[in-house]
Amino acid sequence: MTDDANAPWLIVGLGNPGPEYAGNRHNVGFMVVDLLAERIGGKFKRAQKAQAQVVEGRMGPPGPANRRVVLAKPMSYMNLSGGPVTALRDFYKVPTAHVVAVHDELDIDYATLRLKLGGGDNGHNGLKSMTKSMGPDYHRVRCGIGRPPGRMQVADFVLKDFSSTERKELDWFVDRAADAVECLVAEGLERAQSAYNA
């Protein structure tokens, strides 16, 4: 058993701070970590060493699969997420392989999940910033939001709130993404992929 097995996990929801962005597609990562914080009974507070809000707690069933976790929402805006995430990783002594980015993904159908370790950023500015800061070898929980309709620009699409049709499934989708994060932390990537990758 390596030290890494007992190292904490840093679960980062990617999004933009401020009430005007709260319901945006780009903020689904924030929605998922908000639910996870609720589940572990924590409230977000300002991090001491980073431009972020954090909740510390434990996740998973009692016993060896129970893990120390830090839930985080960078407060730097999406395209500067890397700085706060790297500062938190270093402060909490989290191995990069225990960092999980929860984010919106255009190339996956709405309400579909895909989990993976490493890889490219696929044009996602939050991932681009994280990878530039600490390399690509962190986990991703990719929350599908689909492609923009017609000729709508990607930037406009991700900064719009979920549509009324999408909102009917949103609670279920966020709940499932939170389950996937818990499974990843407690049981590992392969188990989580086989359970949640559609």
Q: Which residues are catalytic?
A: 26
Cβ contact 91:83 at 8 Å: no
Nearest to 129 by CA among 74, 92, 178: 74
| Residues making up the chain, counted from first to last | 198
Cβ contact 32:174 at 8 Å: yes
